Amino acid sequence: MVDGTSHARLYMVIAETLIGDLSSGKYPVGAKLPAERELAAMYEVSRPVIREAIIALEVRGLVEVKVGSGVYVRALPDQDQLVAYNVSAIEITEARLLIEAEAAALAATQITDEELARLDALIEEIDAENNDPRGTEKADRAFHLTIAAASRNNALLEAVERLWQLRSSSPEAALLHEKARTANIKPVVDEHTIIAEALKQRDPAAARAAMRAHLSQVLESLLFATEERAIAEARRSAQANRDRFSRVTA
């Protein structure tokens, strides 16, 4: 069913199929969808693809994810929801990996001492934001845009700026990043430090490799963000049940 479909858009095929199932009455309002593992086997795709498809439905208000219980149908789709899609967090991060890695390589030959000092300051801000429960990722964004600007290529800078705009403006991308941060997946200070060090050495190959390694890890984190969050919630729920049982039997 999915032969010839690129991995990046595969979740959209699954989401469209599920929306069609909702529309046909296969899963009425209040019904529970098959488990993630069952859906993956049913459509012969990976569980991360199923996860992204569910997020596509969740952001449209069609399903509700109840941690530890499953995915339930909240509403049936209207005609607009049969065709409306947003760019996903996975797609954005894949594009960032391709573009920002080359921007970093170019920046290694152009970056100034002032810009390097700015990167060091931003790494400290990233660390502070990570330790703040209400922290944002403004410093992370500024770090990456500083490198793009240091490439001295306005087309690259505009491309990176646009990808960061999509990261927050696409409902599907914003939802997955929110899930990741809720699961305590945050910008890694060490990875940013390695990028900055490569730039200080004015080494294009090392800068490219460091940026690729960082964004590859971001991609992996996003793929497993919802699963990690579900595991954490399930553990908390299990502990709460144990505590309640202990109080009853004491």
pLDDT tens track, the chain, 250 positions: 454 445 547 888 888 889 888 888 899 999 999 999 999 999 888 888 898 888 888 878 899 988 788 999 999 887 554 444 567 788 888 899 999 999 999 999 999 999 999 999 999 999 998 888 776 789 999 999 999 999 999 999 999 999 998 887 777 777 777 766 665 566 789 999 999 999 999 999 999 999 999 999 888 877 766 555 444 544 555 555 555 545 554 5
pLDDT value at residue 33: 95
Is 75 exposed, middle or buried, given 0-12, 13-18 or 19+ CB atoms closer than 10 A?
A: middle
Q: What is the pLDDT of residue 161?
A: 94
- Structural tokens at position 141: 């964004």
Name which of 44, 40, 32 is nearest 5 in CA terms.
44
Q: Which two tokens stand for residue 12?
A: 């959209």
Q: What is the DSSP letter of 71?
A: E
CB-CB contact of 175 with 183 (8 Å): no
Q: What is the pTM of this model?
A: 0.62
* DSSP conformation letters of 131-199: T-TT--SHHHHHHHHHHHHHTT-HHHHHHHHHHHHHHHHSHHHHHHHHHHHHTT----HHHHHHHHHHH
Q: In terms of Cα–Cα distance, which of 241, 235, 215, 178 is closest to 91?
A: 215
* Chain centroid to CA 33: 23
Asked if 40 and 1 touch (Cβ cutoff 8 Å), the reply is: no
Radius of gyration of the chain (CA): 21
Strand segments, DSSP code E, in the chain are 63-66, 70-73
Number of C-beta neighbours around residue 47 at 10 A: 16
